[in-house]
A = this chain, B = another copy of it.
Amino acid sequence: MKNINIGLVGFGTIGAGVAKVLLENHEVINARLGVELKLKKIADLDITTDRGVTIPDGILTTDIDQVIGNPGIDIVIELIGGYEPARTFVERALQNRQSVVTANKALLAKHGNELFTTARENGVDFYYEASVGGGIPIIKTMREALAGNNITSVCGILNGTCNYILTKMGDEGADFAAVLKNAQELGYAEADPTFDVEGIDTAHKLAILTSLAFSCPIDFEKIHVEGISDIKPVDFEFAREFGYKIKLLAIAKNEAGCIETRVHPTMIPKEHMLAKIDDVFNAVFVNADALGPSLYYGQGAGMMATASAVVGDLIDIARNLSNSNMRRIPDLGFQDNRITPGNYRPMSEISSQYYLRFSAHDKTSVLSRIAGILGGHEISIASVIQQGGGQGDATAVPIVMQTHIARERNLRAALSEIDQLDIIAAPTAVIRMESDL
């Protein structure tokens, strides 16, 4: 049987993991696939740093052309990350009729649609299982296993750094900065953590899941994104009192053809499966009309878990190549002529329950004034926790409310009034509460 020849671009941590799996698990891959997956070339500018894996002679190269456009390479793995030169390399590989596997969510979120077009025009596969949820096979599940379903929503914990920080803040009562520092020391957070903690990485992944769920082109710009850096330890205490946990959730819903896509800290009931996902782990929760709810859990990052997803893609494409059955699965799981622009609900029009933490000067009139303004904006209060009290004017105390379901636009209008009151000492903290995921 014919070998399938693999070229890898980008020999960092994940690249080393992929090389390790291809070399060390050669036997089991062969036993499953029945065809030899041969790692022929690894291209990187730096081929001298020890990556903890022994690469046979003649494979490492600094010459990108030994991979991209080399007719001896059937499948190119792109693990450079970021937009350029990743985009150019992937584009060139596809144009040279090489199939491509990537783990690059930023690339897909920004250039996915055009790259899918190039792949289609050249009759090759462009797979990306590792781009969402690391080793969790959520792309395959949505594209193939759930293909008989209309997917109604997909929600996920898609960033291990954030989930680690939120888990520790909740367990230990520590504040954000302290836990972030700890996460950086453990290697769970980058030196510049902005991309992770501000929700951008999660939003890149959600852009992909939204298209897989609702057959629309990838549209990162439509996602409302908030990060976790403003959450205070006290919010975890109140969440606990309400029976909720705080998670950074990626949420995509389709209600009667209207799509919501948003990334923000979210309180979810502690019994919900997503509330039970702790530490650096990721999980994706899917609601589908036939299957009902299902959840997929695992390591969302890391050398070997991500490599598992990349190699799974390689094996799939190798089967397609061996059977002359390229493009067996359309890029987004829907026939290309069925991908139609999504009808997105603006953030101001979404409905949610809200957790509101007011910093108020301790006056007897506070609660009635706040409630009055909320009521004037059609926001009704489900419960109130008012702590401290009695010390008079000087001290700002937290007043915490859980609202019934309200319109985001109304909430923002109410808060802009409330936050200007002389009895309010600081901007009101808002966390959306989702009881119905």
Q: What string of 1s and 0s marks CB contacts (under 8 Å) between A258-281 and chain B? A: 000000000000000100100000
Q: Tell me which of B140, B295, B314, B323 contacts A148 (CB under 8 A).
A: B314
Q: In the complex the two chains form, is B304's CB within 8 Å of A299's CB?
A: no
Q: Tell me which of B292, B302, B308, B315 contacts A298 (CB under 8 A).
A: B292
A367 within 8 A of B: no
Give A303 Cβ to nearest chain B Cβ, in Å: 9
- Docked complex Cα distance between A309 and B294 (Å): 12
Q: Which listed segment binds B: A31-39, A172-180, A346-354, A402-410?
A: A31-39
Q: In the complex the two chains form, is A290's CB within 8 Å of B311's CB?
A: yes
Q: Tell me which of B276, B298, B319 contacts A328 (CB under 8 A).
A: B319
Q: Given contacts A307-B148, A308-B146, A323-B325, are A338 and B31 in contact (CB under 8 A)?
A: yes
- Docked complex Cα distance between A334 and B29 (Å): 9
A186 within 8 A of B: no
Q: In the complex the two chains form, is B323's CB within 8 Å of A328's CB?
A: yes
Residues of B within 8 A of A147 (CB): 29, 32-33, 311-312, 315
Residues of B within 8 A of A399 (CB): none
Q: Tell me which of B31, B129, B136, B330 contacts A215 (CB under 8 A).
A: B31
A contacts with B, residue count (CB < 8 A)? 59
Q: Given contacts A294-B297, A298-B295, are A146 and B312 in contact (CB under 8 A)?
A: yes
Q: Given contacts A294-B298, A299-B292, are A149 and B308 in contact (CB under 8 A)?
A: yes
Q: In the complex the two chains form, is B307's CB within 8 Å of A290's CB?
A: yes
Q: In the complex the two chains form, is B288's CB within 8 Å of A293's CB?
A: no
Q: Which of A97-148 contact B (CB under 8 A)?
A: 129, 135-137, 140-141, 144-148
| Number of copies of chain A assembled together | 2
For residue A333, which residue of chain B has the nearest CB? B32
Residues of B within 8 A of A149 (CB): 21, 25, 28, 308
A305 within 8 A of B: yes
Q: What string of 1s and 0s marks CB contacts (under 8 Å) between A139-170 and chain B? A: 01100111111100000000000000000000
Residues of B within 8 A of A333 (CB): 32
Q: Which 6 A-B pairs have the closest CB atoms?
A: A148-B311, A137-B145, A294-B298, A291-B308, A290-B308, A295-B297
20 other A-B residue contacts (CB within 8 Å) besides A146-B312, A290-B307: A17-B290, A21-B148, A22-B148, A25-B148, A28-B148, A31-B334, A31-B335, A31-B338, A32-B330, A34-B335, A135-B290, A140-B141, A140-B144, A144-B312, A144-B315, A145-B312, A148-B308, A290-B311, A293-B298, A293-B299
A316 within 8 A of B: yes
Give A207 Cβ to nearest chain B Cβ, in Å: 20
A344 within 8 A of B: no
Residues of B within 8 A of A273 (CB): 276, 297
Q: In the complex the two chains form, is B312's CB within 8 Å of A292's CB?
A: no
**For the complex, would chain A's binding face be called helix, strand, loop or mixed by DSSP majority?**
mixed
- Docked complex Cα distance between A21 and B295 (Å): 21
A195 within 8 A of B: no
- Docked complex Cα distance between A419 and B314 (Å): 57
Q: Which of A317-339 contact B (CB under 8 A)?
A: 319, 323, 325, 328-330, 333-335, 338
**Can you report 22 A-B residue pairs in the complex whose CB atoms are below 8 A from each other?**
A32-B333, A33-B335, A135-B292, A137-B141, A137-B145, A140-B140, A140-B141, A141-B141, A141-B145, A148-B314, A276-B276, A288-B308, A289-B304, A290-B304, A292-B302, A292-B304, A294-B296, A294-B299, A295-B295, A297-B297, A319-B329, A325-B328
Q: Tell me which of B21, B289, B297, B330 contacts A290 (CB under 8 A).
A: B21
For residue A138, which residue of chain B has the nearest CB? B145
Give A336 Cβ to nearest chain B Cβ, in Å: 9
- Docked complex Cα distance between A147 and B144 (Å): 16
Give A399 Cβ to nearest chain B Cβ, in Å: 33
